[in-house]
C-alpha cells in the first residue's frame, strides 16, 4: 500500500505540474514576426525584391496587358467552341461594354496596388532609419520609382484611383479617390526626386536605374494632355533625349528575335524588363506563345501540350503593315507545317491555315480553330520552357518607344521634318522607306506597328482620339467614359469612401 501512496503523489504532482503550463505564445519556425523585420540593409534588400516580385503578373492573361490590348484595335480573342468563352469577359473588353467585375480590371488593379502596398511598407521602413546610408538611399529611390510606375499605370487605367503612401491602412479612415492632377504631380515629383539617387546603369539587369525612371516620366509627359488636359511635348523631347543620350541603349539590328526572343536579356534596346527564369522555379507570366498558337502546333513551335489557340489579330490592324514590313513576323499567318514539312490539321481535321478574316465573335464550322492571324511577339523557340512558361524577358520600356515618343512630340510641335529624322531608323530597320516628313498620324501609325502587342495601344489610341470614336471589327463607337476603366466592384464594396468613375 506504500507504493500506492507514492503513486497517488505522482498523480497529484502530474496534475499540478502540467496545469501550470498555460503559455500560449506562438512559436514561429519558417516565417518571422513582421514587427521586427526590415531592420538591416540585408533585410531591406529582401523587401525591395518583394516589390519587384509583384510585377510578375502584369503580363498575365487577366491583367494589365489584356486591358491595354484587348480593348484596342490590334488584338481579338474569338470564342472557339467551349474555349475562350469565359462568360463573355473577352468580348466585353473588345466591344467596350465591360462591366465593373471584369476579371482583367480586377487583376490589373490588384497587381498594381500590390506593388504600391509593398513599396509603401519598404519606403516607410527605410525612412524610419533616420540618417540613410548609400544602400538605403538607393533602395529608397528604387522603391519610389517602382511605386511611381504603378501610380502612373493606375492613373492611365483608372483616372481617379486612391493615392495612398502610408504603410498601414486604417480601416476606419480609408482613402477616397485622388484627382488625376494629384496623381500626375505625385508621379512627376517622385520620379524627379528618385532619379538623383538611382544608379546611371543598374548593377543588375532587371533593376531600375535613372533611365527606367525617365521612361516612366516620358510616358507621363507623353499623355499629359489626356491625364490633366495640359500637354508637355517639350518635356517629352527633353526626357527622351536624356535617355537617348545616356548611351546605354542602341537599336538592335533585328527587333525579333533580339528584343523579344530567346536570349533577349542581352538586348541593348530594352530599358526595363521583367526577367523570367521559370527553369529556376521563379514564377512568371511569360506564356504568350501558348495563349495564341494552335493546339496542334506543339511540335512546330516546341510547345509541349500544344497551344491554347486564343490571341489573334484584327485584319484591319494587320493590313496597316506593308507587304515587306519585317515586323510582320511577330504574327503567324497562313498554312502551318511541322518541321518535317507535314501539314498540321485542326482537331476537326481541317488543314490548319490561319486566316486574316475572323467571321464571327463566336466561331463555328471550319473557321472554328483556324480564324485569326496569331500573335507571337514573344517567341518561345530556343528558350528554356518549364510548364507553360519560358525564359524570354518581358519588356516594359525600350529605346524604340522613346524614339517614337520624341518623334510624336516633334510632330505635335510642328517639326514634321525633325520627326521624320527621329523616326526613320525605326522604319529602316523594319525594311521600309524613310519618310521626308512625319505627321502626327504617320507617327501614330508607325507606333502602332512598332509597339504592336506591347501593351501601349489603348493609351496611344486615347491620346490620338481614336479609342472611342473609331470602329473596328466587333467594336462600334463607344461611350465617352470608356477612356478610363471602372474601379473594380470589390474595391467599391470594401471602401465606402471610393466613388465610381462616371458612367459606370
Partner 1 sequence: MRIILQKGIFLVGVLLLSHLVQSQDITGKVSDATGPLPGANVVVKGTTNGTQTDFDGNYVLNNVNSEAILIFSYIGYQTLEVAVDNRSVIDITLEQDAQALDEVFVVGYGTIKKQDQTTSVVSVSSEDFNRGVISSPEELIQGKAPGVVVTQTNGEPGAGLTVRVRGGKSITASNDPLYIIDGVPIDNTSAVPLPGTGAAGTNQSTGNPLAFLNPNDIASINVLKDAAAAAIYGSRGANGVILITTKRGQSGAAKLSLDYNTSVGWVRNRYDIYTAEEIRNLDVEAAITDSGADTDWQDEVYQTAIAQNLNLAMSGGGEGNAYRASLSYANNEGVLQNSGLERITGRYNVNQSLFDGRLELSSNITASRINRSFAPNEQLGGFLGGVLSGLFNYSPTQPVRNEDGTFSNNGTFANPVKLYEDVSDKSVETRILGNISANLKLFPNLTGTVNIGVDHNTGERRNFLARDSQFRPEGFASRITNTRQSKLIESYLTYDKYFGLESRNNLQVVGGYSFQQFDSEGFGASAQDLTLDSFGFNSFASDSDAINPTAFRDRSKLVSFYGRAQYNHDSRYILSAVFRADGSTRFGEDNKWAYFPGVSAAWRIINEKFMDNQSTFSDLKLRASYGSIGNQAIEPYQSLATLASVGQVNFGDNVSQAFFFNNFANPDLKWETTTTTNIGIDWGFLDNRLSGTFEYYISDTDDLLLQIPLPAPADPNVTLANVGSVRNSGFEGSINYRAFDKRDFTWDVGFIFATLKNEVTSLDSSDFSRSEIAYGVTSGEGAGVDNIFRIQVGQPVNAFFGAVFDGLVDGIETYEDLNGDGVINADDRRFIGDAQPDFTYSINSNLRYKNWDLNLFFRGVSGIDIYNNTAQTFGLPTRIGSRNVIRGFIEEGESTTAASRRFSTRFLEDGSFFRLDNFTIGYTLPDGILGFTDSVRFTLSGQNVFVITDYSGQDPEVSAIASSQSIQTQGIDYLTFPRPTTYSIGVNINF
CA distance 117 to 138: 19
Cβ within 8 Å of residue 451, ≥6 positions away: 400, 401, 404, 457, 460
- Quote the least distance from Cβ 348 to partner 1, whole Å: 4
CA dihedral 341, 346, 349, 351 (to 10 degrees): -50
Cβ within 8 Å of residue 3, ≥6 positions away: none
Cβ proximity to partner 1, 324 vs 343, nearer residue:
343
315 neighbors 324 (Cβ within 8 angstroms): no
52 to 71: interface string for partner 1, x by CB under 8 A: xxx-x-----x---------
Strand boundaries in 126-195, DSSP class E: none
Segment contacting partner 1 by CB under 8 A, of 84-92, 177-185, 226-234, 243-251: 84-92
Segment contacting partner 1 by CB under 8 A, of 136-144, 159-167, 441-449, 467-475: 159-167
- Quote the least distance from Cβ 410 to partner 1, whole Å: 35
Closest CA to 95 of 73, 80, 111, 79: 73
- Quote the least distance from Cβ 417 to partner 1, whole Å: 41
Binding to partner 1 by residue 275, rule CB under 8 A?
Answer: yes
- Quote the least distance from Cβ 416 to partner 1, whole Å: 41
C-alpha cell at 273: 524588363
- Quote the least distance from Cβ 431 to partner 1, whole Å: 33
Ordered DSSP codes for 278-305 = GGGT------HHHHHS-TT-TTTTT-TT
Count of residues near partner 1 by CB under 8 A: 106
Q: Which residue in the set 268, 304, 428, 437 belongs to the binding site for partner 1 (CB under 8 A)?
A: 304
- Cα Rg of the chain, angstroms: 26
CA distance 182 to 291: 37
Q: Which residue in the set 132, 135, 169, 244 belongs to the binding site for partner 1 (CB under 8 A)?
A: 169
Cβ proximity to partner 1, 229 vs 349, nearer residue:
349
- Quote the least distance from Cβ 113 to partner 1, whole Å: 4
Grouping H, G, I as helix, E, B as strand and the rest as coil, residue 144 is helix
Q: Which residue in the set 132, 244, 251, 282 belongs to the binding site for partner 1 (CB under 8 A)?
A: 282
CA distance 101 to 92: 11
Binding to partner 1 by residue 277, rule CB under 8 A?
Answer: yes
CA distance 290 to 303: 7
Cβ proximity to partner 1, 47 vs 261, nearer residue:
47
Which residues between 356 and 385 bind partner 1 (CB under 8 A)?
Answer: 362-366, 368
CA distance 180 to 225: 11
Binding to partner 1 by residue 21, rule CB under 8 A?
Answer: yes
Binding to partner 1 by residue 170, rule CB under 8 A?
Answer: no
- Quote the least distance from Cβ 206 to partner 1, whole Å: 5
Binding to partner 1 by residue 295, rule CB under 8 A?
Answer: yes
Which residues between 199 and 258 bind partner 1 (CB under 8 A)?
Answer: 203-207
311 neighbors 292 (Cβ within 8 angstroms): yes
| H or E, element range at 374 | strand 374-375
Grouping H, G, I as helix, E, B as strand and the rest as coil, residue 22 is coil
477 to 496: interface string for partner 1, x by CB under 8 A: -------------xx-xxx-
Binding to partner 1 by residue 41, rule CB under 8 A?
Answer: no
The 10 Å CB-count burial string (b at 16+, else e) for 384-397 is: ebeebbbbbbbbbb
Binding to partner 1 by residue 2, rule CB under 8 A?
Answer: no
Closest CA to 381 of 318, 288, 269: 288
Binding to partner 1 by residue 503, rule CB under 8 A?
Answer: no
Which residues between 85 and 144 bind partner 1 (CB under 8 A)?
Answer: 85-89, 92, 97, 99, 101, 103, 109-110, 113-114, 116-118, 120-121
Which residues between 328 and 347 bind partner 1 (CB under 8 A)?
Answer: 345, 347
Cβ proximity to partner 1, 118 vs 427, nearer residue:
118
Q: Which residue in the set 177, 223, 267, 276 belongs to the binding site for partner 1 (CB under 8 A)?
A: 276
Q: Which residue in the set 124, 135, 251, 386 belongs to the binding site for partner 1 (CB under 8 A)?
A: 386
Cβ proximity to partner 1, 12 vs 437, nearer residue:
12
219 to 409, 427, 460, 465: CA distances (angstroms) = 12, 21, 10, 17
Cβ proximity to partner 1, 195 vs 208, nearer residue:
208
Binding to partner 1 by residue 183, rule CB under 8 A?
Answer: no
C-alpha cell at 24: 500560449
Cβ within 8 Å of residue 203, ≥6 positions away: none
Amino acid at each position: 500500500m506504500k507504493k500506492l501512496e507514492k503513486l497517488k503523489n505522482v498523480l497529484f504532482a502530474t496534475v499540478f505540474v502540467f496545469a501550470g503550463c498555460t503559455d500560449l505564445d506562438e512559436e514561429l519556425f519558417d516565417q518571422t514576426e513582421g514587427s521586427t523585420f526590415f531592420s538591416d540593409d540585408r533585410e531591406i534588400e529582401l523587401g525591395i525584391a518583394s516589390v519587384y516580385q509583384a510585377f510578375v503578373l502584369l503580363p498575365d492573361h487577366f491583367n494589365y496587358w489584356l486591358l491595354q490590348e484587348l480593348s484596342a484595335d490590334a488584338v481579338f480573342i474569338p470564342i472557339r467552341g467551349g474555349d475562350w468563352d469565359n462568360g463573355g469577359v473577352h468580348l466585353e473588353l473588345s466591344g467596350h461594354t465591360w462591366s465593373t467585375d471584369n476579371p482583367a480590371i480586377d487583376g490589373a488593379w490588384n497587381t498594381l496596388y500590390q506593388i504600391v502596398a509593398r513599396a509603401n511598407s519598404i519606403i516607410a521602413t527605410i525612412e524610419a532609419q533616420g540618417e540613410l546610408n548609400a544602400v538605403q538611399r538607393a533602395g529608397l529611390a528604387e522603391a519610389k520609382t517602382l511605386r511611381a510606375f504603378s501610380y502612373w499605370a493606375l492613373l492611365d487605367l483608372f483616372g481617379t484611383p486612391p493615392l495612398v503612401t502610408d504603410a498601414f491602412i486604417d480601416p476606419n479612415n480609408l482613402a477616397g479617390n485622388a484627382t488625376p492632377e494629384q496623381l500626375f504631380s505625385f508621379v512627376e515629383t517622385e520620379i524627379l526626386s528618385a532619379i538623383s539617387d538611382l544608379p546611371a546603369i543598374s548593377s543588375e539587369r532587371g533593376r531600375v536605374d535613372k533611365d527606367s525612371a525617365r521612361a516612366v516620366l516620358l510616358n507621363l509627359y507623353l499623355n499629359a494632355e489626356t491625364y490633366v488636359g495640359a500637354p508637355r511635348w517639350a518635356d517629352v523631347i527633353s526626357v527622351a533625349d536624356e535617355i537617348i543620350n545616356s548611351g546605354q541603349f542602341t537599336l538592335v539590328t533585328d527587333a525579333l528575335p533580339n528584343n523579344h526572343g530567346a536570349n533577349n536579356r542581352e538586348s541593348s534596346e530594352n530599358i526595363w524588363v521583367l526577367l523570367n527564369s521559370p527553369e529556376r522555379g521563379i514564377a512568371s507570366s511569360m506564356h504568350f506563345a501558348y495563349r495564341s498558337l494552335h493546339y496542334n502546333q506543339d511540335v512546330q513551335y516546341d510547345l509541349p501540350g500544344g497551344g491554347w489557340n486564343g490571341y489573334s489579330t484584327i485584319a484591319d490592324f494587320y493590313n496597316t503593315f506593308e507587304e515587306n514590313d519585317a515586323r510582320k513576323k511577330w504574327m503567324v499567318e497562313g498554312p502551318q507545317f511541322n518541321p518535317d514539312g507535314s501539314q498540321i490539321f485542326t482537331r476537326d481535321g481541317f488543314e490548319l491555315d490561319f486566316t486574316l478574316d475572323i467571321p464571327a465573335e463566336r466561331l463555328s464550322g471550319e473557321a472554328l480553330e483556324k480564324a485569326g492571324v496569331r500573335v507571337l511577339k514573344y517567341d518561345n523557340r530556343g528558350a528554356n520552357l518549364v510548364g507553360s512558361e519560358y525564359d524570354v524577358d518581358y519588356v516594359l520600356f525600350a529605346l524604340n518607344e522613346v524614339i517614337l515618343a520624341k518623334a510624336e512630340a516633334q510632330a505635335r510641335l510642328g517639326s514634321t521634318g525633325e520627326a521624320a529624322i527621329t523616326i526613320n531608323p525605326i522604319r529602316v530597320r523594319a525594311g521600309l522607306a524613310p519618310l521626308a516628313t512625319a505627321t502626327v498620324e504617320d507617327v501614330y501609325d508607325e507606333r502602332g506597328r512598332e509597339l504592336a502587342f506591347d501593351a501601349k495601344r489603348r493609351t496611344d489610341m486615347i491620346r490620338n482620339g481614336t479609342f472611342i470614336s473609331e470602329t473596328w471589327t466587333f467594336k462600334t463607337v463607344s461611350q465617352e467614359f470608356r477612356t478610363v476603366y471602372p474601379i473594380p466592384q470589390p474595391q467599391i464594396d470594401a471602401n465606402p469612401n471610393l466613388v465610381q468613375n462616371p458612367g459606370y
